[in-house]
Amino acid sequence: MTDIRQDVGQLLWFGFPGTELDPATRARIAAGRMGAAILYRRNVAQGDGGDDLAAVAALNASLHQAAADAAAPLLIAVDQEGGRVQRVRSPGTVWPPMLELDGFDRARAATLAAQLGEGIGRELCALGFDVDFAPVLDVQTNADNPIIGDRAFATEPERVAELALAFARGLDTAGVMACGKHFPGHGDTHTDSHLELPRLSHSLERLENVELVPFRRAAKAGVPLVMTAHIVFDAIDPDRPATLSRAVITDLLRERLGFAGLVLSDDMDMNAIADHYGAGDAAVAAIEAGCDGVLACNDVASQHDMFETLVRTAETNPAFRARVGESAAAVRRVKESYAARQRTAPGLDVVGCAEHVALARRIVEGERGVG
């Protein structure tokens, strides 16, 4: 059996401070105590013309190099959806929100979604990223939703599925892994899970016909990663948020929908979790529920607590140790499969290139005046 601490490390997706790799994070990666790194705006250095793209690429190279002697390579992830949520901006392409696609006819919207995914993927690949926390698979059914809104692809579930999966295929073409989010669906909430714990009282029939449609299609299409939502769904599990619920993650996503990829939690530092559960206990509950990775994006103390609690629980609970080993093996298989693709990254000149800027402009303008 593999080392417990190495296995736990594979389950941890952590943010870190600064625009250069700090010694503590480097040591954590080299020791195998961090399976993936997540970049935020705080990690993007600024230059005279906006984001310093060369510095971002250098940071990612140093992150990958830090894992050179670790038991498994490091994945580097970022939220680059377009619209409000894109960590790398100008002089990279400033992409439109995905809801802009809902204004095009079906065939054209799907083509543009694939082009957007490939364009975003090419820029991320050039910068050294491996995973994009996109596409959003939530259906925008609540105009007053404070967190999803124009991040969604559409207001109708089948259209969301079609456009989001076209986007995911574009990312894959560019050599970047897609992560669909936020399971089982964040599109109809009235509150922001960054701030509090939302609850949805929809019937299971409603969930089957609306929220679950894009995720069912994503599972069938083989999307490699899915991220959970920190939301209580009364019809599935009235006692626990989806991230911590075996009924949601294992019974519904795995067994009923047939999802075979990696399941990641949303950020465990969000108030929906942090205000109700300790970081370490929440991480254990998420892995027990069926998650393969847990995110802690901001709080270093939470990250330490998660690692130590997961290790301690695995050392004293054989069933949980087996569960950790199962997910760690799944993470390693994904990393090995991804590494075997031997992608060739484009040069940095693709980031913010004229072709991508024109694509973004055409979508915002509805292709008016475009020949």
**Looking at the annotation, which residues are catalytic?**
194, 266
Per DSSP, the three-state class of 228 is strand
Q: Give the residue from 87, 121, 90 showing the smallest Cα distance to 19.
A: 87
Q: Give the residue from 173, 247, 182, 172 showing the smallest Cα distance to 214.
A: 182
> What are the helix and strand counts (H, E) for the chain?
13, 14
Pairing type for strands 46-47 and 50-51 reads antiparallel
Q: Give the residue from 236, 135, 230 showing the smallest Cα distance to 176.
A: 135
Residues 6+ apart with CB under 8 A from 19: 42, 43, 44, 45, 52, 55, 59
DSSP assignments along 110-159, one per residue: HHHHHHHHHHHHHHHHHHT--EE---B------TT-SSSGGGSS-SSHHH
